[in-house]
Structure 1
Amino acid sequence: MNGIFVNSSPVTDWSDVLVCPVCASELVLSQSEMPHPSKLACENGHQYDAARQGYFNLLTGKGTKFREDTQDMVAARLRFLEAGHYAPIAEAVASAVPADASLIYDAGSGPGYYLERVMNDLSSSDGTRAIAMDISRAAAKFAAKVPKTLALVSDVWSVLPVAAGSVDVVLNIFSPHNAEEFRRILRRGGRAIVVTPLPHHLQELRDAQLGLLTIQPEKQAKIHETFSEGYALIQEESLEFSLNLSPNEIADLVAMGPAGHHDPTSTETEQRTVSCGVVITVFEKK
């Protein structure tokens, strides 16, 4: 992945987009003599230094009450995703992004797998850039490698560090939904692309009692309710496929999600066919 910090044509100005999480004034990306941008700073003296891996941690005060994905969880996710198992989901997400989108905001980006697919599809557009946001520092260091992307560590339930009406597309894939903040940062006519699991998604692994969370049958109805104010539903697609997974792949699939916080162990010893079902819902800001 050729990220903002090693890309031959890096994005160097984010002052029209980023706002300080403390005082809401413009955040300016400062360049140093090194190949990496060194800090984000606002006119009131609030500064955020770049981590060695290229991301910026914008969590302030007590940070977040939510648990960030660990290095082991992110490593499992990368192994699983880079094997192409969820490529149909990435393709469906990328196809829902308008070709003229100039700013993508990935809320809950993880290591940036889906965002990278989107940015690759938009690579012919010189003006396209992206912000990858996650609470996991382990994930952010990989998201920082996505082309023309700025990776931020922040909490989706806080005020997002982005100016109102500045974003063309919000990606929200298997992540919490802050519909009010998404609406604030989207321009009029901008899209929120939301991916949620169907109730039977990974049901075989749930039946095997491998620690996966139950998916509530009313989940999709709640998504519609959450995005009912200020949005219009413009597209909804169910995507279903099956995977034939090895024991190691099953272990990664279990470990990359919330079950990974509880030291999951897979007792699988044979290949298993696993059902996958998701909904890609596209809302447009009115």
Structure 2
Amino acid sequence: MTRPATLPGAVVAALRCPLCASAFALDGRSLRCPSRHSFDLAKQGYVNLLHAGIPAGTADTAEMVAARVAFLGAGHYDGLRDLLAQVAAGTGGDGLVVDAGAGTGYYLAGVLDRLPDAAGLALDVSAVALRRAAKAHARLGAAVWNLWEPWPVAAETASVVLNVFAPRNAAEFRRVLRPGGTLLVVSPERGHLAELAAVAPVLDVDPRKEERLDAALSEHFELVSRQSLRDRVTLEPDDVRNAVRMGPTGHHPERLAALDGVTGPAAVTLAFSLSEYRRTA
């Protein structure tokens, strides 16, 4: 019989009880703190540490996650994952890598492949997504959490924090990073998937997005480098549907009706920005 997945030791050591901030010990299939608070691991290996509800439309749904798994599995964002892993490896990070908004763990698993001495913690508000993330890599552990709340992670624990198309909590980025630690932020550039606007609503990218990003992080971080990655790819009809369904539009099924009319391939633009920041003292 296959044993249920569990949490790597380095992840257990980094996690903190969301009720009292104490350290955890793994007791069988449960995380327990000295105050006797207990959180059971799901059979897939992730742990849900949330103790309050979240607004509707916040967490990715099962349909959105399925679309993302299919789209990423087709390899369209492999170049982005490889670039992120390359930059992360260049930081020399050999401790804990925290992926804030990790989704299915696609990017974090790629980074861990390039950092053989690191462990990874995937944080996301979607338990559906973390069922996948928990099994994405042997050195990866996953915890359900709302990124806008103070994280259940010990201070100055991480050598690298990843943030890929996800909410940015600058204060928590800084708190969990070691002094001199690295924050890697991936965001879409103007024109990303813009061609899909012909078949479904897609979010336009603010032309001042990078300026606003730098300003939001300036209190805690300094910009080290920024790279752009642009490409033109041809998406088959199923890829087009998955690209739309896996994003914010997926929370609005009434906006997806036009996808039924997609019958042929579409040439689209991929445009990403990867920004590397260093934690200030």
Is the 8 Å Cα contact of residues 14 and 28 (structure 1) preserved in structure 2? no
1:5 is matched with 5
Note the aligned Cα RMSD (angstroms). Answer: 1.8
Matches within 5 A, 1:1-286: 5=5, 11-12=8-9, 14-30=11-27, 32=28, 38-63=29-54, 67-97=58-88, 98-123=91-116, 125=117, 128-145=118-135, 146-206=137-197, 208-263=198-253, 264-265=256-257, 266=259, 267-286=261-280
**Distance change (3 Å), C-alpha of 1:115 and 1:4:** farther
Q: Structure 2: how far apart are the matches of 1:73 and 1:174? A: 14
Q: State the shift of 1:63 in Å.
A: 4.4
TM-score (norm 1): 0.90
Q: Which amino acid aligns with 2:224?
A: I
Q: Secondary structure at 1:252's aligned position in 2?
A: helix
- Kept in 1, the 8 Å contact 2:187–2:272? The answer is yes
SS of the residue 2:233 aligns to: strand
Q: Which runs of 5+ in 1 are unaligned?
A: 33-37
| Structure 2, gaps ≥5 residues long | none
What residue identity is the alignment partner of 1:178?
N
Kindly indicate whether the alpha-carbon contact (under 8 Å) linking 2:226 and 2:275 is maintained by their aligned counterparts in 1. Answer: yes
- Whole-angstrom distance in 2 between the partners of 1:191 and 1:93: 12
Measured in 2, the distance between the counterparts of 1:106 and 1:64 equals: 22
CA contact (8 A) 2:17 2:24 kept: yes
Would the alpha carbon gap of residues 285 and 66 (structure 1) be closer, same or farther in structure 2, given more than 3 Å must change?
farther
Q: Is the 2:157–2:178 contact (alpha carbons within 8 Å) kept by the matching residues of 1?
A: yes
Residue 17 of structure 1 and its aligned partner are, at CA, apart by: 1.3
Q: Is the 8 A contact 2:109 2:140 kept in 1?
A: no
**2: distance between equivalents of 1:285 and 1:205?**
37
C-alpha displacement of 1:268: 1.7
TM-score by length of structure 2 reads: 0.92
CA contact (8 A) 1:25 1:42 kept: yes
Worse-superposed segment, 157-166 or 45-54? 45-54
8 Å contact from structure 1 (residues 11, 148) kept in 2: yes
Q: Secondary structure at the match of 1:68?
A: coil
SS of 1:62's equivalent? Answer: coil
- Whichever residue aligns with residue 77 of structure 1, its letter is R
The 8 Å contact of residues 4 and 147 in structure 1, kept in 2 or not, is answered as no
Report the 3-state secondary structure (helix = DSSP H, G, I; strand = E; otherwise coil) of the residue aligned with 2:9: coil
Percentage identity across aligned positions? 37
CA separation of 1:189/1:13 partners in 2, compared to 1, >3 Å: closer, same or farther?
A: closer
Partner SS, residue 96 of structure 1: helix
The Cα shift of 1:150 comes to 1.1
| Aligned-partner SS, 2:142 | strand
The offset of 1:258, in angstroms, is 0.7
Aligned to 1:35: none
